[in-house]
A and B are shown apart, each in its own frame.
Chain A
C-alpha cells in the first residue's frame, strides 16, 4: 500500500513527471567528477547549473560533461543583476541546447544574495512569453508569488534562509502562507543545511526542495545526497499521510466544543 502510494506520487512540474522531489546543484563541489555519483545516490532527476560558470568552448574540463543524460537540466541565471541580464542568460541557455527550463536568479545585493522580486517578475513575464518553463527564486513574499503565478511561472522557489547559510527554514511562517495560498508547485530553495530541514519543509507541504551547498560541501556528498533523498521521502510521506488531520483549514470534528451543537 505504502509503495503503491509513493510510486503514484509523481511530481508534475514544467511539463515533466518527476520521480524525485529533490533537486540538486553543481556548484561548490571539490570536483565535478563526483556529480554522477551524487545524481545516483540522491535519486534526483533535476540539476541546476550556473550558466555563467559554463565554458561551452572549453576543450578541457566542463561541468556539463559530468551531468548524466537522464537528468533534467535547470540552467540558472546566477550573476544576473537585472531582468535584462537574466533574460539574455536564459536565451543563451536555450541556444546552447540546455532546454527550456530556466531558474531565474536576479540578485542585486551581494552580501545577502537575496533575490530582487521586482526584476524577477519582469524577467518571468517575458521568458514565459518566449516559451520557457520559468522557475523563479524568490523571497517568500505572497504578492511576488501571486504576480509570478499570473505571469505563468512553472513553480516558485522561495528561500528557507539566505543562500549558503545552511540555517534551515527560517522563513517557515511565510512559506506556510505560500503553501496555503499558491496553487503552483513550491520548491524550497536555499538555506536548507541538513536533511531534517528538508524533511520539515516537505512535511509542511512543500512540493520539492533544491539542495546544493549542504550536499556539495559535506564531507561525503554521495552519502549526504542519499540522506537528503530519504529525508525528502519521509517528509513527503508524512505530509501525504497527515494532510487531512493537520491542515489548518480542514474542518475539524470539534472534539472540545462539539457538545454545544
Chain B
C-alpha cells in the first residue's frame, strides 16, 4: 500500500472545480474545527477563504506558538555535485544544459564543511544531481562520514533511492530525507520529465514512504510551485503529508514550499504563485497539520520571509548558495537557481533576535 492508492481516490475528481465551488460557510466551519479533514483543507485554500485570511493567520500564529514556540530552525544546503542524467525542463542542472559540471572531492567537501560550520550551523542539507555513476552511494557515504564530524544533523536531497540505500545512508549518519514530487499531476509530470530516471512518477511518489520505512527521522516533501495549479498541487501535497503522518507516526513529516525561481537557462513559469497565495497555503497547512514542519528557503525574498516567520514556518535556510562548492570555490560555478534572500547566517540570526524569535541551530544529534 502506497500513497498512490490514496491519490487514486481523488484522481477522477475535478479537484479544481471542487475548490472553486466552496462557499464561505464551509470556510468558516473549517477555521473553527478542532479536527480537520482534507475537504476542510480544500476550503482553507479556496478563493472563498480570502476574506478570512487574517483570521486564519491569527490561528496559524497561535498554533505555531503553542507547538513550536517562538523559534525557527536554521539550516543550509550544500551542493556536492551537479552531474545529472535528468531532463527536468525547469531545472538549471538538467542534462542537456551546457554548464560547468563538477563534483567536489572529499578534500573540497571537508573545506566546504569547515566554512559552513564557522557560521554555527549544525544542520546541513546535501544535494546532488541524478547521476549515480558520479555521486554514487559510496561517494555519498564517504561525504557523510566527513560531514558528521561538523554537523549534528545531515539531510539529503538527492535522486530517489530504494529503501535499502536509504538505510545505508542512515547508517552513515543521515537522518533526514527531502524529496519533492515537483508536481502531483501525472500528465504534467510526464511532460516535464520526458526521459531519464526521474521520469518514473511512481518511483518518485513512493520515495518518502521508502525513506520512512528505512528509518529516516525526518521526511520533507514538497511540490515545485509554478509547474501546475497551486491549489491542486497543495491539496495533494497536504494529502500526502497527512497520509505519511498517519502511516508513519514515528517519522517527523514536514513540507517545503519552493516557489519557482528563474535560472540561467530560464523556464517560462506557467502557473505563477503570488505572495498572497503563498501566505494562504502556509496558514492553511499550519491549521490542517498543526505539528507538521514547514520550510521556506532563500528562494523567497527577504521581506516576504520576514513577514511570514510568525505564521507557521518552522525552518528556514540561511547563508545559502545553489552552486557546487559555493562556500569555498568562488563564483565560477553555475547555480541551480537564483537565490532571493541573500542574508548571511549572522544577518539572519540578528534579524530573528530583533523580532523576538530564537534561532535554533541544533535539534538532534547521533546519540
List residues of A whose CB falls within 8 A of some B CB: 27-32, 51-55, 58, 60, 79-81, 85, 88-89, 92, 108-113, 164-166, 213, 216-217
Contact = CB atoms under 8 A, between A and B. Distances in A.
Nearest to A32: B358
B360 A88 contact: no
A164 B367 contact: no
B245 A111 contact: yes
Interface string B64-77: 01111111000000
B28 interface: no
B250 A28 contact: no
Contacts of B356: 30-31
Contact of B291 (A55, A92, A110): A110
Contact of A79 (B71, B253, B360, B364): B364
Contacts of A32: 358
B357 interface: yes
10 contacts: A30-B357, A51-B367, A53-B362, A79-B363, A81-B217, A85-B367, A89-B367, A110-B250, A164-B67, A217-B65
Contact of B69 (A55, A60, A80, A217): A217
Nearest to A58: B120
A164 B365 CA distance: 23
Contacts of B367: 51-52, 80, 85, 88-89, 92
A21 B150 CA distance: 40
Nearest to B69: A28
B24 interface: no
A88 B68 CA distance: 25
B245 A110 contact: yes
A80 B252 CA distance: 12
Interface of B: 65-71, 120, 122, 152, 217, 245, 249-253, 291, 353, 356-358, 360-365, 367
Contact of B70 (A58, A109, A112, A217): A217
B69 A27 contact: yes
A41 to B, nearest CB: 18
B65 to A, nearest CB: 5
B360 to A, nearest CB: 7
Contacts of A60: 120
Contacts of B122: 55
Contacts, number: 75
Nearest to A213: B66
Given A60-B120, A88-B367, A29 B249 contact: no
B358 to A, nearest CB: 6
A165 B291 CA distance: 11
Contacts of B357: 30
Contacts of A109: 249-250
A219 to B, nearest CB: 10
Contacts of B362: 52-55, 58
A133 B356 CA distance: 35
A30 B67 CA distance: 14
A247 to B, nearest CB: 35
Contacts of B66: 164-166, 213, 217
A115 to B, nearest CB: 13
B360 A53 contact: yes
A110 B251 contact: yes
Contact of A213 (B69, B152, B249): B69
A253 B357 CA distance: 58
The 6 closest A-B pairs by CB, nearest first: A28-B69, A30-B70, A30-B356, A109-B249, A88-B367, A164-B67
Contacts of A165: 66
Contacts of A81: 217, 250
Instruction: Name, among B71, B152, B358, B363, the residue most crowded by chain A CB atoms within 10 Å (CB to CB).
Output: B358
Contacts of A217: 65-66, 69-70
A91 to B, nearest CB: 9
